[in-house]
Amino acid sequence: MTTQDIGVSTDDLPANAQPSGRRPNSRVYEVGIGLAVVLLGAAVYVMTNRIDVAREGQSFGPRWWPTALAVSMVVIGMILIVQAVISRIVSDEPPITKSGTFALAATLALIAVYGIAWQYFDFRVVTVVLLAGLTAISGGRGIKALAVFPVITTVILWAIFGLLLQVPL
């Protein structure tokens, strides 16, 4: 669980204190989240009105349901803003680290390259490279991590999907 709707009274907390294992989020940040929800709802509302329909003026037509959802989103966004102002939202997610951000960015870049390479090269070859790359990003070093593990995993993948399930990889 990440956050709770149940606000923690600031009176109950000494200065700089935090609920056990949780970090209070800044009010500005939480208001920003609420604002983002309102803007998303508004954007959906605009996009809904641009849906091309074959027959205009139908009751309960294709625009009706998404419009109702967009309005609900705006209302919920406003409630989130109010909630952010009057109560204190806490989070128990571990903080983001610099090395973690780099690892995630590198992983996404590697997956993108893999997706392109898969169109041109054999699945088995590019998958071995992908697995070696992902292991290296996660801190794997040496022959076992960068060669043996990727080859064995690729063979298992190929056996399950390519041979057993006949998926055209």
Partner 1 sequence: MGDIRSALAGTAVNAVTEGLSALLDPSIGVCLLVGVLLGTLVGAVPGITAAMAVALAAGFTLTLEPLQGLSVLLSIYVAAQFGDRVPSILINTPGTPASIATTFDGFPMAKQGRAGIALTSSALVSAVGSVVGICILIFAAQPIASIALRFGPAEMFALVVFGMTMMIGVSGGRVVKGLFAGILGLLLGTVGRDPITGDGRFTFGLNELSSGIPFIAAIVGLFGIAEVFNQMISRHPTIVPAPITQLGKWWPNRAERRELVKPALIGSGVGAVVGVVPAAGGDIAGIVSWDQARRASKTPEKFGKGSLEGLAAADTASTATMGGSLTTTLALGVPGDAVMAVMIGSMVIWGLQPGPALFVDSPDLVYSLAAIMLLATFAALALALVRMRGVIKLLDLPQKYLWAVIITFCMVGTYAVQNSAFDVGLMLVFGLLGLALRRNGFPAGPLVLGLILGPLAESNIRRAFLIDGAASIYTSGIAVALLVLSALAVLGPYIRTGLKKGSRRGAGERADA
Site for partner 1 in 34-53 (CB under 8 A): 37, 44, 47, 51-53
How far apart are CB 84 and partner 1 at their closest, in Å? 10
- CA gap 158, 67 in Å, rounded: 46
9 binds partner 1 (CB under 8 A): no
First-last CA distance in the chain: 38
Q: What DSSP state is assigned to residue 24?
A: E
Contact 62, 49 (CB under 8 A): no
> Is residue 122 within the footprint of partner 1 (CB under 8 A)?
no
CA distances to 20, 43, 89, 147 from 29, in Å: 21, 21, 10, 44
CB of 125 to partner 1, least distance (A): 14
Please list every residue from 46 through 105 that binds partner 1, using CB under 8 A. Answer: 47, 51-55, 58-62, 64-66, 69-70, 72-73, 76-77, 79-80, 83, 89, 91, 93-97, 99-101, 103-104
Does residue 94 sit in helix, strand or coil?
coil
**Residue 155 touching partner 1 (CB under 8 A):** no
Q: Is 12 in the site for partner 1 (CB under 8 A)?
A: no
Looking at the Cβ atoms of 15 and 55, the one nearer to partner 1 is 55
168 contacts partner 1 (rule: CB under 8 A): yes
The whole-angstrom separation of Cα 127 and Cα 156 is 11
